[in-house]
A and B are shown apart, each in its own frame.
Chain A
Amino acid sequence: MTGEELKRTPLYEEHVALGARMVPFAGWEMPVYYGGIIEEHNAVRGSAGLFDVCHMAEFRIFGASAADALQRLLTNDISRVSEIGDAQYTLLCDEDGHMIDDLIVYHTGELEYMIVANAANRANDWGWLDERLPESVERVDESDRTALLALQGPKALSVAREVAGEGFEMPERFQVAGADLDGVPVLLARTGYTGEDGVEIVSHSSHAVQLWRLLLSFPEVAPCGLGARDTLRLEMGYALYGSDMDRTVDPVSAGLGWAVSMGKGEFVGREPIAQVKASGPERRLAGLTVPDGIPRHGYPVLHGEEEVGTVASGGFSPTLGHGIATAYVPSALSVEGTRLAVGIRRKTVPAVVTKPPFVRDTSLFRG
Protein backbone atom coordinates (compact mmCIF):
# COMPACT_ATOMS: atom_id res chain seq x y z
CA MET A 1 0.00 0.00 0.00
CA THR A 2 3.05 2.25 0.32
CA GLY A 3 2.64 5.40 -1.70
CA GLU A 4 -1.03 4.73 -2.32
CA GLU A 5 -3.61 7.15 -1.06
CA LEU A 6 -5.57 5.70 1.86
CA LYS A 7 -9.30 5.52 1.32
CA ARG A 8 -11.75 7.04 3.77
CA THR A 9 -15.20 5.81 4.69
CA PRO A 10 -18.19 8.20 4.71
CA LEU A 11 -17.71 8.35 8.50
CA TYR A 12 -14.14 9.66 8.46
CA GLU A 13 -15.09 13.12 9.72
CA GLU A 14 -17.22 11.57 12.48
CA HIS A 15 -14.24 9.55 13.70
CA VAL A 16 -11.97 12.57 13.72
CA ALA A 17 -14.58 14.60 15.61
CA LEU A 18 -14.81 11.82 18.21
CA GLY A 19 -11.03 11.95 18.71
CA ALA A 20 -10.34 8.56 17.14
CA ARG A 21 -6.82 7.34 16.60
CA MET A 22 -6.77 6.60 12.88
CA VAL A 23 -4.54 3.93 11.37
CA PRO A 24 -4.01 2.45 7.92
CA PHE A 25 -5.87 -0.83 7.51
CA ALA A 26 -6.23 -2.75 4.24
CA GLY A 27 -5.76 0.45 2.26
CA TRP A 28 -8.22 2.41 4.41
CA GLU A 29 -7.78 5.03 7.08
CA MET A 30 -9.75 3.49 9.94
CA PRO A 31 -10.33 4.19 13.64
CA VAL A 32 -8.37 1.76 15.84
CA TYR A 33 -9.90 3.24 18.98
CA TYR A 34 -11.57 6.35 20.34
CA GLY A 35 -10.91 6.18 24.10
CA GLY A 36 -9.20 2.83 24.42
CA ILE A 37 -9.44 -0.70 23.08
CA ILE A 38 -10.23 -2.30 26.44
CA GLU A 39 -13.01 0.10 27.35
CA GLU A 40 -14.57 -0.33 23.90
CA HIS A 41 -14.22 -4.10 24.16
CA ASN A 42 -15.98 -4.01 27.52
CA ALA A 43 -18.70 -1.74 26.14
CA VAL A 44 -19.54 -4.39 23.55
CA ARG A 45 -19.48 -7.25 26.08
CA GLY A 46 -21.51 -5.26 28.61
CA SER A 47 -23.78 -2.93 26.64
CA ALA A 48 -23.45 -2.13 22.93
CA GLY A 49 -20.83 -0.89 20.50
CA LEU A 50 -21.06 0.64 17.05
CA PHE A 51 -18.41 -0.13 14.43
CA ASP A 52 -17.74 1.50 11.10
CA VAL A 53 -17.10 -1.40 8.75
CA CYS A 54 -17.79 0.53 5.55
CA HIS A 55 -14.39 -0.57 4.27
CA MET A 56 -15.74 -4.06 3.71
CA ALA A 57 -16.75 -5.05 0.18
CA GLU A 58 -20.28 -5.76 -1.02
CA PHE A 59 -21.08 -7.54 -4.27
CA ARG A 60 -24.58 -7.96 -5.64
CA ILE A 61 -25.10 -11.12 -7.68
CA PHE A 62 -28.44 -11.71 -9.36
CA GLY A 63 -30.21 -13.51 -12.11
CA ALA A 64 -32.00 -16.79 -12.77
CA SER A 65 -28.81 -18.85 -12.48
CA ALA A 66 -27.16 -16.83 -9.67
CA ALA A 67 -27.69 -19.53 -7.03
CA ASP A 68 -26.35 -22.30 -9.30
CA ALA A 69 -23.28 -20.25 -10.13
CA LEU A 70 -22.55 -19.43 -6.49
CA GLN A 71 -23.09 -23.07 -5.59
CA ARG A 72 -20.14 -23.94 -7.84
CA LEU A 73 -17.88 -21.09 -6.70
CA LEU A 74 -18.42 -21.12 -2.92
CA THR A 75 -17.89 -23.95 -0.45
CA ASN A 76 -21.08 -23.89 1.59
CA ASP A 77 -24.42 -25.21 0.35
CA ILE A 78 -26.36 -22.27 -1.02
CA SER A 79 -29.57 -24.32 -1.09
CA ARG A 80 -29.58 -23.91 2.69
CA VAL A 81 -30.27 -20.21 2.16
CA SER A 82 -33.06 -20.79 -0.33
CA GLU A 83 -35.47 -18.42 1.43
CA ILE A 84 -35.19 -14.69 0.93
CA GLY A 85 -33.78 -13.33 4.20
CA ASP A 86 -31.41 -16.24 4.80
CA ALA A 87 -27.70 -15.64 5.34
CA GLN A 88 -24.71 -17.97 5.40
CA TYR A 89 -21.01 -17.97 6.23
CA THR A 90 -19.07 -19.43 3.33
CA LEU A 91 -15.63 -19.59 1.75
CA LEU A 92 -14.17 -18.80 -1.63
CA CYS A 93 -11.51 -21.37 -2.46
CA ASP A 94 -9.15 -21.84 -5.38
CA GLU A 95 -8.62 -25.07 -7.38
CA ASP A 96 -6.07 -26.23 -4.78
CA GLY A 97 -8.72 -25.98 -2.08
CA HIS A 98 -6.95 -23.01 -0.49
CA MET A 99 -8.89 -20.05 0.83
CA ILE A 100 -9.19 -16.87 -1.22
CA ASP A 101 -11.56 -15.24 1.28
CA ASP A 102 -14.28 -15.86 3.81
CA LEU A 103 -17.65 -14.31 3.04
CA ILE A 104 -21.19 -13.92 4.21
CA VAL A 105 -23.83 -14.45 1.55
CA TYR A 106 -27.18 -12.80 2.17
CA HIS A 107 -30.21 -13.86 0.17
CA THR A 108 -31.58 -10.37 -0.27
CA GLY A 109 -34.27 -10.74 -2.90
CA GLU A 110 -35.83 -12.79 -5.67
CA LEU A 111 -32.83 -14.41 -7.45
CA GLU A 112 -30.57 -11.90 -5.70
CA TYR A 113 -27.65 -12.32 -3.31
CA MET A 114 -25.35 -9.89 -1.54
CA ILE A 115 -21.84 -11.04 -0.70
CA VAL A 116 -19.90 -9.23 2.02
CA ALA A 117 -16.15 -9.72 1.69
CA ASN A 118 -12.99 -8.56 3.41
CA ALA A 119 -11.77 -5.10 2.40
CA ALA A 120 -8.26 -6.30 1.61
CA ASN A 121 -9.60 -8.94 -0.76
CA ARG A 122 -12.10 -6.82 -2.66
CA ALA A 123 -10.23 -6.56 -5.97
CA ASN A 124 -9.06 -10.14 -5.84
CA ASP A 125 -12.47 -11.61 -4.99
CA TRP A 126 -14.20 -9.48 -7.56
CA GLY A 127 -11.74 -10.50 -10.28
CA TRP A 128 -12.12 -14.16 -9.35
CA LEU A 129 -15.92 -14.08 -9.32
CA ASP A 130 -16.30 -11.83 -12.37
CA GLU A 131 -14.12 -14.14 -14.42
CA ARG A 132 -15.98 -17.29 -13.41
CA LEU A 133 -19.62 -16.23 -13.19
CA PRO A 134 -21.49 -17.13 -16.37
CA GLU A 135 -22.62 -14.29 -18.61
CA SER A 136 -26.22 -14.86 -17.62
CA VAL A 137 -25.50 -13.87 -14.01
CA GLU A 138 -25.46 -10.16 -13.29
CA ARG A 139 -22.84 -8.86 -10.90
CA VAL A 140 -22.23 -5.40 -9.46
CA ASP A 141 -19.49 -4.31 -7.09
CA GLU A 142 -21.55 -2.08 -4.78
CA SER A 143 -18.75 -1.44 -2.28
CA ASP A 144 -18.17 2.23 -3.04
CA ARG A 145 -21.77 3.26 -2.55
CA THR A 146 -22.59 0.90 0.30
CA ALA A 147 -22.19 1.65 4.00
CA LEU A 148 -21.94 -1.08 6.61
CA LEU A 149 -22.28 -0.47 10.34
CA ALA A 150 -22.12 -3.15 13.02
CA LEU A 151 -24.13 -2.67 16.20
CA GLN A 152 -23.12 -5.37 18.65
CA GLY A 153 -23.64 -6.20 22.29
CA PRO A 154 -26.28 -7.40 24.75
CA LYS A 155 -28.20 -4.13 24.32
CA ALA A 156 -27.79 -3.91 20.54
CA LEU A 157 -31.10 -5.55 19.68
CA SER A 158 -33.19 -3.33 21.94
CA VAL A 159 -31.60 -0.26 20.31
CA ALA A 160 -32.15 -1.72 16.84
CA ARG A 161 -35.78 -2.48 17.69
CA GLU A 162 -36.33 1.05 18.89
CA VAL A 163 -34.92 2.68 15.76
CA ALA A 164 -36.72 0.22 13.48
CA GLY A 165 -40.01 1.17 15.08
CA GLU A 166 -43.09 -0.74 16.12
CA GLY A 167 -44.18 -3.56 13.91
CA PHE A 168 -40.67 -4.40 12.77
CA GLU A 169 -39.96 -8.06 13.20
CA MET A 170 -36.34 -8.58 14.19
CA PRO A 171 -34.71 -11.23 11.98
CA GLU A 172 -33.49 -14.41 13.61
CA ARG A 173 -29.78 -15.12 13.91
CA PHE A 174 -28.24 -15.37 10.40
CA GLN A 175 -31.29 -13.78 8.84
CA VAL A 176 -31.63 -10.42 7.14
CA ALA A 177 -34.62 -8.12 6.64
CA GLY A 178 -35.37 -4.74 5.15
CA ALA A 179 -36.09 -1.99 7.65
CA ASP A 180 -36.68 1.73 7.85
CA LEU A 181 -34.44 3.49 10.33
CA ASP A 182 -35.43 7.12 10.77
CA GLY A 183 -36.54 7.25 7.15
CA VAL A 184 -33.44 5.50 5.85
CA PRO A 185 -34.01 2.25 3.96
CA VAL A 186 -31.60 -0.39 5.22
CA LEU A 187 -30.97 -4.09 5.38
CA LEU A 188 -30.74 -5.28 8.98
CA ALA A 189 -28.73 -8.47 9.23
CA ARG A 190 -28.55 -10.43 12.45
CA THR A 191 -24.87 -11.19 11.99
CA GLY A 192 -21.62 -10.02 13.50
CA TYR A 193 -18.01 -10.70 14.37
CA THR A 194 -17.89 -10.07 18.11
CA GLY A 195 -19.53 -13.03 19.82
CA GLU A 196 -22.37 -10.81 20.95
CA ASP A 197 -25.86 -10.66 19.57
CA GLY A 198 -26.49 -7.69 17.34
CA VAL A 199 -27.06 -6.47 13.83
CA GLU A 200 -25.10 -5.33 10.83
CA ILE A 201 -26.75 -2.49 8.96
CA VAL A 202 -26.38 -2.05 5.21
CA SER A 203 -27.38 1.27 3.65
CA HIS A 204 -26.48 3.63 0.85
CA SER A 205 -23.26 5.40 1.81
CA SER A 206 -25.01 8.79 1.68
CA HIS A 207 -26.99 7.77 4.80
CA ALA A 208 -24.04 6.54 6.82
CA VAL A 209 -23.54 9.69 8.88
CA GLN A 210 -27.25 9.97 9.72
CA LEU A 211 -27.39 6.34 10.89
CA TRP A 212 -24.11 6.62 12.81
CA ARG A 213 -25.36 9.67 14.73
CA LEU A 214 -28.78 8.15 15.31
CA LEU A 215 -27.33 5.00 16.87
CA LEU A 216 -24.74 6.90 18.91
CA SER A 217 -27.52 9.08 20.34
CA PHE A 218 -28.40 6.10 22.53
CA PRO A 219 -26.40 6.33 25.76
CA GLU A 220 -25.94 2.57 25.81
CA VAL A 221 -24.07 2.62 22.48
CA ALA A 222 -20.34 3.41 22.36
CA PRO A 223 -18.32 4.02 19.20
CA CYS A 224 -15.77 1.21 18.83
CA GLY A 225 -12.70 0.87 16.65
CA LEU A 226 -11.00 -1.96 14.84
CA GLY A 227 -8.82 -2.65 17.90
CA ALA A 228 -11.81 -3.86 19.90
CA ARG A 229 -13.21 -5.63 16.85
CA ASP A 230 -10.03 -7.70 16.78
CA THR A 231 -9.94 -8.53 20.52
CA LEU A 232 -13.65 -9.40 20.47
CA ARG A 233 -13.37 -11.76 17.51
CA LEU A 234 -10.21 -13.35 18.89
CA GLU A 235 -11.96 -14.19 22.16
CA MET A 236 -14.48 -16.12 20.04
CA GLY A 237 -11.76 -17.81 18.00
CA TYR A 238 -13.31 -16.37 14.83
CA ALA A 239 -10.81 -16.72 12.01
CA LEU A 240 -9.34 -13.59 10.46
CA TYR A 241 -8.38 -13.63 6.80
CA GLY A 242 -4.68 -12.90 6.37
CA SER A 243 -3.83 -14.23 9.84
CA ASP A 244 -5.73 -17.52 10.21
CA MET A 245 -6.54 -18.04 6.54
CA ASP A 246 -4.76 -17.46 3.28
CA ARG A 247 -3.94 -19.01 -0.09
CA THR A 248 -1.72 -21.67 1.51
CA VAL A 249 -4.29 -23.34 3.75
CA ASP A 250 -7.51 -25.32 3.28
CA PRO A 251 -10.74 -24.90 5.27
CA VAL A 252 -10.48 -28.23 7.09
CA SER A 253 -7.06 -27.41 8.56
CA ALA A 254 -8.44 -24.01 9.57
CA GLY A 255 -11.30 -25.62 11.50
CA LEU A 256 -13.79 -24.28 8.95
CA GLY A 257 -14.87 -27.63 7.54
CA TRP A 258 -18.38 -26.86 8.77
CA ALA A 259 -18.57 -24.16 6.08
CA VAL A 260 -17.79 -26.67 3.33
CA SER A 261 -20.56 -28.86 1.96
CA MET A 262 -19.12 -32.03 0.47
CA GLY A 263 -22.56 -33.37 -0.33
CA LYS A 264 -23.76 -30.59 -2.62
CA GLY A 265 -21.90 -31.66 -5.74
CA GLU A 266 -19.04 -30.09 -7.65
CA PHE A 267 -17.48 -26.81 -6.59
CA VAL A 268 -14.11 -25.14 -7.01
CA GLY A 269 -11.60 -26.74 -4.65
CA ARG A 270 -13.74 -29.77 -3.81
CA GLU A 271 -11.27 -32.55 -4.67
CA PRO A 272 -8.27 -31.28 -2.69
CA ILE A 273 -10.50 -30.44 0.28
CA ALA A 274 -12.03 -33.93 0.13
CA GLN A 275 -8.54 -35.42 0.24
CA VAL A 276 -7.61 -33.41 3.34
CA LYS A 277 -10.86 -34.47 4.93
CA ALA A 278 -10.24 -38.13 4.12
CA SER A 279 -6.65 -38.27 5.33
CA GLY A 280 -7.07 -35.78 8.16
CA PRO A 281 -5.14 -32.50 8.05
CA GLU A 282 -1.44 -32.60 8.91
CA ARG A 283 -1.77 -29.35 10.79
CA ARG A 284 -4.71 -27.77 12.49
CA LEU A 285 -5.52 -24.33 13.74
CA ALA A 286 -5.54 -24.65 17.52
CA GLY A 287 -6.56 -22.19 20.20
CA LEU A 288 -3.91 -21.36 22.82
CA THR A 289 -4.31 -19.96 26.32
CA VAL A 290 -1.18 -18.03 27.27
CA PRO A 291 -1.39 -16.83 30.88
CA ASP A 292 2.05 -15.21 31.19
CA GLY A 293 2.56 -13.15 28.07
CA ILE A 294 0.97 -11.72 24.97
CA PRO A 295 1.39 -13.93 21.92
CA ARG A 296 1.30 -12.06 18.64
CA HIS A 297 1.12 -12.97 14.95
CA GLY A 298 4.30 -14.72 13.80
CA TYR A 299 5.70 -15.69 17.21
CA PRO A 300 7.09 -19.25 17.32
CA VAL A 301 5.09 -22.03 18.98
CA LEU A 302 7.19 -24.68 20.70
CA HIS A 303 6.69 -28.24 21.86
CA GLY A 304 9.52 -28.85 24.25
CA GLU A 305 12.53 -27.39 22.47
CA GLU A 306 11.12 -27.95 19.01
CA GLU A 307 9.44 -25.21 17.01
CA VAL A 308 6.16 -26.71 15.79
CA GLY A 309 4.31 -23.68 14.44
CA THR A 310 3.76 -19.95 14.57
CA VAL A 311 1.05 -17.80 16.08
CA ALA A 312 -1.64 -17.00 13.50
CA SER A 313 -3.81 -14.60 15.53
CA GLY A 314 -2.79 -13.52 19.00
CA GLY A 315 -3.26 -10.84 21.55
CA PHE A 316 -4.50 -9.78 24.93
CA SER A 317 -7.98 -10.87 25.96
CA PRO A 318 -9.58 -7.99 27.89
CA THR A 319 -12.25 -10.32 29.29
CA LEU A 320 -9.78 -12.91 30.57
CA GLY A 321 -6.94 -10.52 31.37
CA HIS A 322 -4.25 -12.56 29.66
CA GLY A 323 -2.94 -13.68 26.30
CA ILE A 324 -4.81 -15.90 23.83
CA ALA A 325 -3.89 -17.06 20.35
CA THR A 326 -4.49 -19.35 17.46
CA ALA A 327 -1.69 -21.28 15.80
CA TYR A 328 -1.24 -23.97 13.17
CA VAL A 329 0.35 -26.95 14.89
CA PRO A 330 0.73 -30.64 13.95
CA SER A 331 -2.66 -32.32 14.39
CA ALA A 332 -1.35 -34.60 17.14
CA LEU A 333 -0.51 -31.48 19.17
CA SER A 334 -3.84 -29.74 18.53
CA VAL A 335 -5.68 -31.79 21.16
CA GLU A 336 -7.26 -29.76 23.94
CA GLY A 337 -5.02 -29.60 27.01
CA THR A 338 -1.75 -30.18 25.14
CA ARG A 339 1.06 -28.23 26.76
CA LEU A 340 2.99 -26.09 24.31
CA ALA A 341 4.93 -22.84 24.66
CA VAL A 342 5.22 -19.55 22.82
CA GLY A 343 8.51 -17.78 22.22
CA ILE A 344 7.98 -14.15 23.13
CA ARG A 345 11.25 -12.51 22.09
CA ARG A 346 13.78 -13.36 24.84
CA LYS A 347 11.42 -15.60 26.80
CA THR A 348 9.45 -18.80 26.41
CA VAL A 349 6.08 -18.89 28.15
CA PRO A 350 3.64 -21.77 28.63
CA ALA A 351 0.64 -22.22 26.33
CA VAL A 352 -2.20 -24.71 26.68
CA VAL A 353 -4.29 -25.83 23.72
CA THR A 354 -7.83 -24.61 24.35
CA LYS A 355 -10.87 -25.13 22.20
CA PRO A 356 -12.35 -21.73 21.29
CA PRO A 357 -14.41 -19.77 22.08
CA PHE A 358 -12.12 -18.55 24.82
CA VAL A 359 -15.03 -16.58 26.29
CA ARG A 360 -18.43 -18.23 26.51
CA ASP A 361 -20.48 -15.95 28.72
CA THR A 362 -21.77 -13.57 26.01
CA SER A 363 -25.22 -12.54 24.81
CA LEU A 364 -24.81 -14.80 21.78
CA PHE A 365 -24.44 -17.91 23.94
CA ARG A 366 -26.90 -16.82 26.60
CA GLY A 367 -29.39 -16.28 23.77
Chain B
Amino acid sequence: MYPSDLKYAREHEWVRVDGDTATIGISDFAQDQLGEVVYVDLPSEGDEVTAGDTFGEIESVKSVSELYAPVSGEVVKVNEALEDTPETVNEDPYGDGWMIVVRISDPSQVDDLMDAGAYEAFVSEEA
Protein backbone atom coordinates (compact mmCIF):
# COMPACT_ATOMS: atom_id res chain seq x y z
CA MET B 1 0.00 0.00 0.00
CA TYR B 2 2.87 2.38 0.77
CA PRO B 3 5.89 1.63 -1.45
CA SER B 4 9.16 1.81 0.46
CA ASP B 5 11.02 3.73 -2.25
CA LEU B 6 8.79 6.77 -1.74
CA LYS B 7 8.72 9.54 0.83
CA TYR B 8 5.40 10.84 2.19
CA ALA B 9 4.02 14.16 3.39
CA ARG B 10 1.48 14.74 6.16
CA GLU B 11 -0.96 16.02 3.53
CA HIS B 12 -0.77 12.57 1.86
CA GLU B 13 1.35 13.39 -1.16
CA TRP B 14 4.22 11.08 -2.08
CA VAL B 15 7.58 11.93 -3.62
CA ARG B 16 9.84 9.77 -5.74
CA VAL B 17 13.32 11.33 -5.86
CA ASP B 18 15.41 10.70 -8.95
CA GLY B 19 18.63 12.74 -8.98
CA ASP B 20 17.58 16.39 -8.69
CA THR B 21 13.96 15.82 -9.65
CA ALA B 22 10.99 14.60 -7.66
CA THR B 23 7.83 12.99 -9.01
CA ILE B 24 4.77 13.86 -6.91
CA GLY B 25 1.42 12.13 -6.52
CA ILE B 26 -1.07 11.27 -3.77
CA SER B 27 -1.04 8.15 -1.62
CA ASP B 28 -3.34 5.17 -1.82
CA PHE B 29 -4.84 6.28 1.49
CA ALA B 30 -5.61 9.71 0.02
CA GLN B 31 -7.24 8.39 -3.13
CA ASP B 32 -9.33 5.97 -1.08
CA GLN B 33 -10.51 8.76 1.21
CA LEU B 34 -11.43 10.96 -1.75
CA GLY B 35 -13.38 8.34 -3.66
CA GLU B 36 -13.69 8.40 -7.45
CA VAL B 37 -11.56 11.26 -8.76
CA VAL B 38 -13.27 13.22 -11.52
CA TYR B 39 -11.09 16.30 -11.91
CA VAL B 40 -7.45 17.20 -11.31
CA ASP B 41 -6.20 20.76 -11.67
CA LEU B 42 -2.42 20.91 -12.01
CA PRO B 43 0.11 23.73 -12.55
CA SER B 44 1.90 24.26 -15.87
CA GLU B 45 5.45 23.44 -16.79
CA GLY B 46 7.71 26.25 -15.66
CA ASP B 47 5.55 27.18 -12.64
CA GLU B 48 7.28 27.31 -9.26
CA VAL B 49 5.80 25.33 -6.39
CA THR B 50 6.65 25.92 -2.74
CA ALA B 51 6.82 23.24 -0.08
CA GLY B 52 3.71 23.43 2.10
CA ASP B 53 1.76 25.53 -0.40
CA THR B 54 -0.96 24.30 -2.73
CA PHE B 55 0.02 23.34 -6.24
CA GLY B 56 -3.37 22.21 -7.48
CA GLU B 57 -6.72 20.70 -6.67
CA ILE B 58 -8.28 17.31 -6.87
CA GLU B 59 -12.01 16.68 -6.94
CA SER B 60 -14.04 13.57 -6.37
CA VAL B 61 -17.78 13.40 -6.95
CA LYS B 62 -18.28 14.35 -3.33
CA SER B 63 -15.50 16.78 -2.44
CA VAL B 64 -12.67 19.12 -3.39
CA SER B 65 -9.20 18.90 -1.86
CA GLU B 66 -6.09 20.99 -2.25
CA LEU B 67 -2.87 19.40 -3.35
CA TYR B 68 0.14 20.49 -1.27
CA ALA B 69 3.68 20.51 -2.58
CA PRO B 70 5.93 18.32 -0.41
CA VAL B 71 9.05 20.02 -1.82
CA SER B 72 9.85 23.30 -3.57
CA GLY B 73 11.01 23.63 -7.15
CA GLU B 74 10.20 24.32 -10.76
CA VAL B 75 7.58 22.14 -12.45
CA VAL B 76 9.35 20.35 -15.31
CA LYS B 77 6.66 17.86 -16.26
CA VAL B 78 2.88 17.59 -15.82
CA ASN B 79 0.75 14.47 -16.20
CA GLU B 80 -1.53 15.81 -18.94
CA ALA B 81 -3.28 12.43 -19.23
CA LEU B 82 -5.09 13.09 -15.94
CA GLU B 83 -7.17 15.74 -17.69
CA ASP B 84 -8.99 13.04 -19.67
CA THR B 85 -8.60 10.11 -17.30
CA PRO B 86 -8.55 11.48 -13.74
CA GLU B 87 -9.67 8.08 -12.45
CA THR B 88 -6.08 6.89 -13.00
CA VAL B 89 -5.32 8.51 -9.64
CA ASN B 90 -7.60 5.90 -8.02
CA GLU B 91 -6.46 3.00 -10.14
CA ASP B 92 -2.70 3.52 -10.01
CA PRO B 93 -1.81 6.24 -7.48
CA TYR B 94 1.93 5.44 -7.44
CA GLY B 95 2.27 4.76 -11.17
CA ASP B 96 0.27 6.32 -14.00
CA GLY B 97 -1.57 8.46 -11.45
CA TRP B 98 1.51 10.63 -10.81
CA MET B 99 0.84 14.37 -11.07
CA ILE B 100 3.92 16.53 -11.54
CA VAL B 101 7.71 16.35 -11.65
CA VAL B 102 9.64 19.21 -10.06
CA ARG B 103 13.32 20.13 -10.11
CA ILE B 104 14.09 20.17 -6.39
CA SER B 105 15.42 23.53 -5.22
CA ASP B 106 16.17 22.50 -1.63
CA PRO B 107 17.11 18.82 -1.22
CA SER B 108 16.97 19.09 2.58
CA GLN B 109 13.17 19.29 2.31
CA VAL B 110 13.13 15.64 1.26
CA ASP B 111 14.67 14.69 4.60
CA ASP B 112 11.70 16.22 6.41
CA LEU B 113 9.29 13.75 4.75
CA MET B 114 8.19 10.43 6.23
CA ASP B 115 9.37 7.03 5.05
CA ALA B 116 6.78 4.34 4.32
CA GLY B 117 6.80 2.95 7.86
CA ALA B 118 6.34 6.34 9.49
CA TYR B 119 3.60 7.26 7.02
CA GLU B 120 1.73 4.02 7.64
CA ALA B 121 1.78 4.73 11.37
CA PHE B 122 0.66 8.32 10.68
CA VAL B 123 -2.25 7.12 8.54
CA SER B 124 -3.41 4.51 11.02
CA GLU B 125 -3.74 7.29 13.60
CA GLU B 126 -5.77 9.41 11.19
CA ALA B 127 -8.06 6.66 9.94
Contact = CB atoms under 8 A, between A and B. Distances in A.
A37 B62 CA distance: 8
Q: Give chain B's interface residue range (CB within 8 Å of chain A).
A: 10 to 19
A37 B61 contact: yes
B36 A38 contact: yes
B36 A36 contact: yes
8 contacts: A36-B36, A38-B38, A227-B35, A294-B59, A294-B64, A296-B64, A316-B59, A318-B61
A28 interface: no
B39 A37 contact: no
Given A37-B35, A227-B62, A293-B39, 8 more contacts: A36-B36, A38-B38, A39-B36, A227-B35, A227-B61, A296-B64, A318-B61, A347-B41
A160 B76 CA distance: 57
Nearest to B61: A37
A32 B38 contact: no
- In the complex, the 7 A-B pairs of residues with the closest C-beta atoms, listed nearest first: A37-B61, A36-B36, A316-B38, A38-B36, A316-B61, A294-B59, A294-B39
B58 to A, nearest CB: 11
Nearest to A37: B61
Contacts of B61: 37-38, 227, 231, 315-316, 318
Contacts of B41: 347
Among A32, A294, A296, A315, chain B packs the most CB atoms within 10 A around the CB of A294
Interface in B38-64: 38-39, 41, 57, 59-62, 64
A36 B35 CA distance: 7
Nearest to B90: A36
Nearest to B33: A21
A32 B62 contact: yes
Among B38, B39, B59, B60, chain A packs the most CB atoms within 10 A around the CB of B38
Interface string A72-101: 000000000000000000000000000000
A316 B39 contact: yes
A231 B38 CA distance: 13
A345 interface: yes
Interface string B1-44: 00000000000000000000000000000000001101101000
A328 interface: no
Among B60, B62, B64, chain A packs the most CB atoms within 10 A around the CB of B62
Interface string A21-62: 100000000001100111100000000000000000000000
Contacts of A231: 61
A21 B62 CA distance: 12
Contacts of A227: 35, 61-62
Interface string A276-320: 000000000000000001101000000000000000000110100
Contacts of A318: 61
Contacts of A316: 38-39, 59, 61
Contacts of A38: 36, 38, 61
A294 B62 contact: no
A131 B10 CA distance: 53
A39 B61 CA distance: 11
Contacts of A32: 62
A294 B38 contact: yes
A311 to B, nearest CB: 13
A296 B60 CA distance: 12
Contacts of B64: 294, 296, 345
A315 B63 CA distance: 9
A224 to B, nearest CB: 13
A315 B36 CA distance: 13
Contacts of B39: 293-294, 316
Contacts of A315: 61
Contact of B57 (A33, A37, A345): A345
Contacts of B57: 345
A82 B74 CA distance: 71
A39 B36 CA distance: 9
B106 to A, nearest CB: 26
A316 B61 CA distance: 6
A345 B54 CA distance: 13
Contacts of A347: 41
Contacts of A296: 64
A315 B60 CA distance: 10
B74 to A, nearest CB: 20
Contacts of B60: 37
Nearest to B39: A294
Nearest to A293: B39
